A and B are shown apart, each in its own frame.
Chain A
Amino acid sequence: MGEIRFMKGNEALAEAAIRAGMQGYFGYPITPQSEVIEYLAAEEPNHDYTLIQAESEVASINMVYGGAAAGARVMTTTSSPGYSLMQEGVSYIACAELPCVVANVARGGPGLGTIQAGQGDYFQAVKGGGHGDYRQIVLAPNSVQEMVDLTILAFDLADKYRTPVLILSDGAIGQMMEKVELPEPIPYKPDKPWATTGKTHDRERNIITSLYIQSDDMEKKNIHLQRKFKKIEENEVRYEEYMIEDAELIITAYGVTSRTSKKIVDLARESGIKMGLHRPITLWPFPADRISELANKNKVKAFFSIEMSAGQMVEDVKLSVNGVKPTFFYGRTGGIIPTPEEVIDFIQKKAGEL
């Protein structure tokens, strides 16, 4: 059994990055994720990584680009407005096919918004965010423990596919404290023959670029990228389900709302309603096949997407359900977490109309 600690989600993410062998961190403080850089700055003297507080999020992501090109295990973390500033860099990194981890401990938007937790960045996270035809793996932790587990996974997936991996968390998971089990530090041996570590006489130059000025080359690159994304879709879908076996009404939720949704399921079961929860852990690749499978079960009557947004993940749920069953949405914005009571009221009302 690993070391047990009582930690904030943000601190846990930072500690996990250290244990995953992170070599470079570049970030700019923003609530509600500032504990990450605070923790990493305090721990820096005890470890080998480089930490730079950049002058902006634009600088952070470009430092990540540089560090990743040089073959280092690198990360940046931010919150919603900061993540918007990074989009150009993420698109470049995706095209240049470099591994890196970015965490967005999301707050309520749009604009400068509120510092309270939000899930309004779903579209930005899973549908692109930056320009061009790229995808990124998006992991959505719903506990302090998963801030650890998914951070370690994020570094491994980034290396495996040479692609940016986004951890889409939220202010509530970042700020809350829970018991967490930390793994032993993982010995990290980079195997990156493509990295720009200095040309030797026995090989050609390694070139990292996102510029393909000839149309043919650019299309070739796109075909290659799409093939890679397809492989990710085939191999990396992750989800968790709760009380799903005999469920007639299915909630879909991720992040902190999946925690309140678990309670909703418990409360519903107590009053004899057969409810279950499907929680995507990877928001991209989205568990579309599994949701489609659930939708085609006879006993399943309807889906309810519960979010802290004006309705974003619900679009992917609807695409997966494909009209086979009704799909409803309930959300709050402004950093307000839907309470179990209001959600149950909503579901009962809608279920009554079926």
Chain B
Amino acid sequence: MLNEMIFAGFGGQGVLSMGKLLAYAAMKEGREVSWMPSYGPEMRGGTANCMVNVSDKPISSPIVTMYDVVIALNQPSLDKFEPKVKKGGILIWESSTIKDGPKRDDIRVFAIPAVDKANKELKNVQVMNMLILGALVKINDIVKRDSLLVALKETLPERHHKLIPLNEKAIALGMSLV
């Protein structure tokens, strides 16, 4: 089973790291993975994205043009990638900051007010990406929640390990929203 995904948003929202975490978790489960970042002249506030493939078989192309899963964390990303969701595919969008929601009715759409929830319930907007990731694994089952936790421990530098409980909470909160 091949999952072709893109995580897109503003630089600084953590789109690259959430994609990396998911790919790492899938690799830990023995799957084939690829992670391809956009690396243009981006900066905090500019747009950024990464394409992530997870498959049971070796991955041919790391470059994808139509997606099984699109994660859109800002308006430009939603506008750009909504048409690129495969029929029946999944679109998750950040609904507390994006004004114009998606319009298609031939895909599965999930509105997650991740920024609001992270602010109000976790007092930390930075883990908004983990909340979205929690929602994604609940919807799609690409990897087990436990694999994400393993990935967090193994990819975060030691000095940031105090943040793991907060990230775990964010993943759980995200899962509870769908």
Contacts and interface: CB of A to CB of B under 8 A. Distances in A.
A and B interact: yes
Interface of A: 4, 6, 31-32, 115-116, 171-172, 175-179, 256, 259-260, 262-263, 266, 337, 339-341
Contacts, number: 60
A263 B61 contact: yes
Interface string B1-31: 0000000000000000000100110010000
B35 A176 contact: yes
5 contacts: A115-B40, A175-B37, A178-B62, A179-B33, A341-B65
A215 to B, nearest CB: 50
Contact of A172 (B32, B33, B41, B62): B62
Q: Which of A116, A176, A177, A341 has the most CB of B within 10 A?
A: A177
Nearest to A178: B34
Contact of A340 (B20, B23, B39, B65): B65
Given A172-B62, A177-B20, A6 B40 contact: no
A51 B83 CA distance: 48
B58 to A, nearest CB: 9
B29 to A, nearest CB: 11
Nearest to B52: A177
A340 B61 CA distance: 9
Contacts of A339: 63, 65
Interface of B: 20, 23-24, 27, 32-37, 39-41, 59-63, 65
Nearest to B32: A179
A318 B27 CA distance: 41
Contacts of A172: 36, 62-63
A263 B58 CA distance: 11
A5 B55 CA distance: 17
A31 B62 CA distance: 20
B85 to A, nearest CB: 15
A347 to B, nearest CB: 16
A6 B32 CA distance: 11
Given A6-B27, A31-B39, A259 B60 contact: yes
Contacts of A260: 60-61, 63
A6 B39 contact: no
B60 A6 contact: no
Contacts of B23: 6, 177
B63 A178 contact: no
Nearest to B39: A175
Contacts of A4: 27
Given A6-B24, A6-B33, A179-B32, A256 B41 contact: no
Given A115-B41, A176-B36, A178-B35, A263 B20 contact: no
Contacts of A256: 62-63
B34 A32 contact: no
Contacts of B20: 6, 177
A179 to B, nearest CB: 5
Contacts of B41: 115
A249 B40 CA distance: 35
A177 B63 contact: no
A129 to B, nearest CB: 26
